[in-house]
């Protein structure tokens, strides 16, 4: 009974054409056991080739024929950078995806983290930059018939003696200053410095006959008339002249006067090595000082400055800060000395509460602006030669007046000093002999400033500058009349 029912189900689901095939005697596919499947058609291998448009898209790409017909791709930037990868050995992976991957892996062709930390890498970079800058200077030297040199001695962090050299060029009527380098010197003698400069000039193909000017500081090794560096250059080129830096002269004049008066040296030491350091290393003291300043006046506190021997006339800023903050500083230090028992504060209080310290602070506030103005004029890139003599003479006249008559800042102090106090703070050591001693010290300091200026800017040098101004200043040229 099962077989007829199975047959009827089979015939029910069978396609009509299948029935015809069965009836015609064609065997079904499921009944054929020996028939084998046909193999799939074989795919033709793709022939990869180098495309010329790749070179336009990737400028660093280079294709070379290797081993007869095989083409390999190379990366010129990787080769130049000294990298080692498939594109430096030659890649036969002629696919666009390989080129894109190469471009993305190292777009700038630097190290993996993008930093060069090894000292050798830094040296290589500095040498590469130096080469470019030196070549640019060489091109400028070709356009300058005559050359000036500016030199100065210095030391690096390892206290090795160095010599810094600048070149001053004249290119198409314009003066240009170029930094040439910082070179090692064995010693600070004039002969050693001269030999170093000559060796550098020869390396730059500069004949000594083209060197007509030498600028330096006023040290004897530079300015010596017989054995100085300038004298040695004059032996090689009689037409060369030596110029002592004008701004340096003004700074040395202030330094000479400072060394001559003991009171000024002690005052500077009190501000820099003691008072400035007392607040510099303590945020708590500085905060209390700021609060006291705000309570005493509506103005903000002026931060205390440290006079620096390298920065010309930085004493001016330190004096202005002390003058502005003196009352708050005295009160804050007094609190630490009395309430806190700080021995350092007690010593400082004894120095800054004296009449001479306060009076000298205000006297210096009158004197130092004159020197600062003089120095700033000389530090300009283009100094008018005709202005040097008048401003030196004006400075001498101002100091002469301040020597005989107290300045406005000192008068302000004298008007505010009453009954042994100033700004409600007790002033010590204010007896008449000590007040007279201060006045003599101030007069002596001002006179030394005048003498130092006259010594650093003698009349013969002023006459020479006047002649140079008459020769080089276009406004002094005779004006031609029209028609002649």
* HEC letters along 239-266: CCEEEECHHHHHHHHHHHHHHHCHHHHH
Residue 77 CA: distances (Å) to CA of 62, 367, 410: 10, 63, 71
Residues 327-383 pLDDT 10s: 888 998 988 888 878 888 888 889 999 999 999 999 999 999 998 888 888 877 777
Grade residue 315 by pLDDT with cuts at 50, 70 and 90.
confident
Pairing mode of beta strands 417-418, 241-244: unpaired
What pLDDT score was predicted for residue 484? 47
What pLDDT score was predicted for residue 478? 67
CA distance 335 to 340: 7
* Mean pLDDT comparison of 26-35, 335-344, 419-428, highest-scoring range: 419-428
Residue 250 CA: distances (Å) to CA of 218, 244, 255, 395, 461: 11, 11, 9, 11, 14
Contacts 24+ apart (CB under 8 A), 233-239: 233/194, 233/208, 236/198, 236/208, 237/208, 237/209, 237/211, 237/212, 239/212
* Mean pLDDT comparison of 5-9, 42-46, 65-69, 314-318, highest-scoring range: 314-318
Residues 234-289 pLDDT 10s: 898 888 888 877 777 777 788 888 888 888 888 888 887 667 778 887 888 888 88
Q: 150: closest CA among 167, 138, 169, 170?
A: 167
What pLDDT score was predicted for residue 47? 63
* Interval 149-164 mean pLDDT: 84
* Interval 283-308 mean pLDDT: 79
Q: Where are the alpha helices (DSSP H) in 14-147?
A: 16-24, 53-57, 76-81, 86-89, 96-105, 119-142
CA distance 117 to 98: 30
CA distance 188 to 241: 21
CA distance 72 to 351: 83
Question: Is residue 471 predicted with pLDDT exceeding 80?
Answer: no
| 8-35 burial code (b ≥16 CB/10 A, e <16) | eeeeeeeeeeeeeeeeeeeeeeeeeeee
- pTM equals 0.63
What pLDDT score was predicted for residue 4? 52
Nearby residues of 371 by Cβ (< 8 Å), 6 or more positions away? 250, 253, 254, 313, 316, 395, 449
Question: Is residue 8 predicted with pLDDT exceeding 60?
Answer: no
* Interval 209-231 mean pLDDT: 85
Specify the domain boundaries for CATH 3.30.420.40 within the chain: 143-244
Nearby residues of 433 by Cβ (< 8 Å), 6 or more positions away? none
CA distance 55 to 77: 14
DSSP string, 162-209: EEEEEEEEEETTEEEEEEEEEEE-S--SHHHHHHHHHHHHHHTT--GG
* Interval 187-214 mean pLDDT: 91
Between 304 and 375, the higher pLDDT residue: 375
**Averaged confidence pLDDT in the chain:** 81
CATH 3.30.420.40 fits 143-244, yes or no: yes
Going 272 to 274 to 279 to 285, the CA torsion angle's sign is negative
What pLDDT score was predicted for residue 11? 55
CA distance 271 to 348: 10
What pLDDT score was predicted for residue 483? 47
Q: What is the chain's alpha carbon radius of gyration, rounded to the nearest angstrom?
A: 43
């Amino acid at each position: 009974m099962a077989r007829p029912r199975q047959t009827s189900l089979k015939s029910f689901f069978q396609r009509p054409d299948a029935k015809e095939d069965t009836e015609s005697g064609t065997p079904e596919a499921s009944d054929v056991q020996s028939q084998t499947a046909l193999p799939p058609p074989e795919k033709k291998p793709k022939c990869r080739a180098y495309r010329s448009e790749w070179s336009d898209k990737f400028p660093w790409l280079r294709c070379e024929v290797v081993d007869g017909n095989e083409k390999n791709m190379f990366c010129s930037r990787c080769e130049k950078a000294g990298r080692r990868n498939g594109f430096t050995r030659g890649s036969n992976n002629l696919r666009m995806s390989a080129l894109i991957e190469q471009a993305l892996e190292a777009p700038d062709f630097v190290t993996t983290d993008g930093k060069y930390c090894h000292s050798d890498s830094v040296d290589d970079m500095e040498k590469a930059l130096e080469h470019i800058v030196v070549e640019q200077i060489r091109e400028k030297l070709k356009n300058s018939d005559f050359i000036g040199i500016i030199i100065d001695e210095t030391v690096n962090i390892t206290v090795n003696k160095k010599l810094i050299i600048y070149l001053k060029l004249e290119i198409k009527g314009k003066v240009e200053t170029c930094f040439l380098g910082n070179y090692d010197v064995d010693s600070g003698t004039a002969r050693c410095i001269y030999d170093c400069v000559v060796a550098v000039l020869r390396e730059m193909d500069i004949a000594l006959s083209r060197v007509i000017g030498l600028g330096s500081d006023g040290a004897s090794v530079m300015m010596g008339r017989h054995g100085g560096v300038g004298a040695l250059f004059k032996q090689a080129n009689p037409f060369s002249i030596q110029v002592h830096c004008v701004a340096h002269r003004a700074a040395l004049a202030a330094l000479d006067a400072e060394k001559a008066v003991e009171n000024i040296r002690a005052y500077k030491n009190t501000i820099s090595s003691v008072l400035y350091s007392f607040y510099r290393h303590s945020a708590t003291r500085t905060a209390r000082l700021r609060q006291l300043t705000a309570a005493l006046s509506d103005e903000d506190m002026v931060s205390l400055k440290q006079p620096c021997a390298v920065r010309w006339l930085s004493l001016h800023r330190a004096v202005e800060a002390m003058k502005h903050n003196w009352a708050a500083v005295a009160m804050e230090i007094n609190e630490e000395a009395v309430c806190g028992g700080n021995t350092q504060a007690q010593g400082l209080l004894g120095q800054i509460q004296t009449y001479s310290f306060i009076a000298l602070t205000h006297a210096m506030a009158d004197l130092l602006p004159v020197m600062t103005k003089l120095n700033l004029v000389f530090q300009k890139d283009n100094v008018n030669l005709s202005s040097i003599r008048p401003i030196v003479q004006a400075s001498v006249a101002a100091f002469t007046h301040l020597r005989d008559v107290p300045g406005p800042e000192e008068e302000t102090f004298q008007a505010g000093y009453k009954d042994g106090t100033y700004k409600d703070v007790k002033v010590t050591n204010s007896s008449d002999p000590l007040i007279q001693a201060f006045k003599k010290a101030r007069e002596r300091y001002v006179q030394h400033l005048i003498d130092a200026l006259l010594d650093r800017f003698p009349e013969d040098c002023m006459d020479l500058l006047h002649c140079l101004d008459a020769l080089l200043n276009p406004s002094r040229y005779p004006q031609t009349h029209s028609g002649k």
